[in-house]
A = this chain, B = another copy of it.
């Protein structure tokens, strides 16, 4: 017997058409380089996006061709998110925080035909253009003040010359590609992940569910996560699907700027990496002190929900925001997983739990979302029990998880023989399905045959009132093979001694042998382009 259901492909074009018809009056706000705000309606977004698609087809874009973007978060980048696939192309978001040589390498690997670039990023382009030549460079006049370099196209002129009504969507299968993004390359060369209509629509549906991002049409969404990092965690697609108002911060990521923006356009849903929120809450709390320079300048939005991921979220950060009535939802994922794979949310089973228990759970990576299968594989290749302490490598499978890499295929260190993605993250899973990441496989510290979790030590140290940040790395040890070294950043004007920190850790049930061998007090923890602690740099600085 056959199902009688229609054979209707999942498609981003449907989400675009839907938004144009249903949400024409809703708003998209973008912050310009000069910090002024520019407003577009969804209706304008719809017509501009169709015009972009029409123009790209006019430029000769063929099905499957890559169009790179090198842009901050703003409305024109959103137009690329939908307009490039509408033309049949594949949007490839280049990461502007990478070294120029690496950007060039990645564009070459992807064989991008066109580039859409913010005018303010042309100086960066100058630094990698020797490495790769695009057929067309389309400049978005984000600052509006720059003369168009010779041979380049003006984004606005291109749209003005195209007919939004004349667009004929490229015919497509739901498995056809719509976007690609490169892994951060912390382990080896960056590798391209290529998303499809199907994977993107499914990820949008799952991520928007009430227990996860809970995206309502009445939400005001502030994506601080760059649109060149794993599709800004898929939020642009989700927001457009539901018709939510979007507020884009443009290039202004300084805590003062974000607080200004949040005061002017109060979001109900924000997303970003922990470091952004850490500095933001410190800046805000400082403004509340008597006689503070910024006293009264900012107002944190009431009832804001914030999705935080990209690195482990310290419990102290969750408590600090909760004190202001802002709930932090921790998510975990990677470029390879679209990226939302797990989210920590208030489970029905925890209704009667203590506040401490709720914070403890909120500080975990969370539970797998629907359509994501997850297992923790032990060293012996068998599944670890979900008992809350047995650890193994997290492996995942599902329709919005990559099964290979562009041009690289499915290397054995990234995929199992039975087709699961090897994430490289080591975690335990408890009886409620909460995943607790201990470490990246390569960040675990092996001391005397026992594993020490650098993440656990970092989170405990960051709960100390004087500690702003802490990063723990392994240093070689003749007797124990490896021992932990704690690099600690103190808050301005605050003090803490190694003895005090040791006492804190013992108080938090760490064993004596798990305590750091040594403390280094440093000015700042070096960060990768995605805002994560860059432990490689610390290891270079403290080789022993």
Contact = CB atoms under 8 A, between A and B. Distances in A.
Interface of A: 1-10, 14-15, 17-18, 21-22, 24-26, 64, 66, 90, 175-177, 192-196, 198-199, 201-202, 205-206, 208-211, 214-218, 241-245, 345-349, 351, 367-368, 370-371, 373, 386, 397-406, 419, 421, 431-433
A209 B242 contact: yes
Nearest to A24: B431
Given A2-B177, A195-B3, A368-B18, A8 B208 contact: no
Nearest to A5: B199
Contacts of A218: 346-348, 351
A36 B245 CA distance: 48
B243 A18 contact: no
A205 B6 CA distance: 17
Contact of A1 (B26, B66, B202): B66
Given A4-B404, A6-B421, A218-B351, 18 more contacts: A1-B177, A2-B194, A3-B196, A4-B194, A4-B406, A5-B199, A5-B399, A5-B402, A6-B419, A9-B399, A10-B202, A10-B371, A22-B368, A22-B433, A26-B348, A208-B209, A210-B216, A211-B216
A70 B3 CA distance: 21
A373 B5 contact: no
A108 B405 CA distance: 51
A214 B205 contact: no
24 contacts: A1-B64, A3-B176, A3-B198, A4-B192, A4-B193, A5-B199, A5-B399, A6-B397, A8-B398, A8-B401, A9-B399, A10-B371, A14-B370, A22-B432, A208-B210, A209-B209, A209-B210, A209-B242, A210-B214, A210-B215, A210-B216, A211-B216, A217-B348, A218-B346
A6 B211 contact: no
Nearest to A238: B209
Contacts of A5: 175, 194-196, 198-199, 399-403
Copies in the complex: 2
A7 B245 contact: no
A66 B1 CA distance: 9
Contact of A373 (B14, B245, B351): B14
Contacts of A348: 26, 217-218, 243-245
Contacts of A402: 4-6
Given A210-B210, A210-B214, A21 B399 contact: no
Contacts of A349: 25-26
**Secondary structure of the A contact surface, majority rule:** loop
Nearest to A192: B4
Nearest to A347: B217
Contact of A403 (B6, B193, B217, B400): B6
A333 to B, nearest CB: 14
A112 to B, nearest CB: 11
A153 to B, nearest CB: 23
A3 B210 contact: no
Contacts of A405: 4
Contacts of A433: 21-22
Contacts of A206: 205
Contact of A3 (B3, B6, B177, B351): B177
Contacts of A346: 218
B194 A8 contact: no
A199 B6 CA distance: 9
Contacts of A243: 347-348
A6 B399 contact: yes
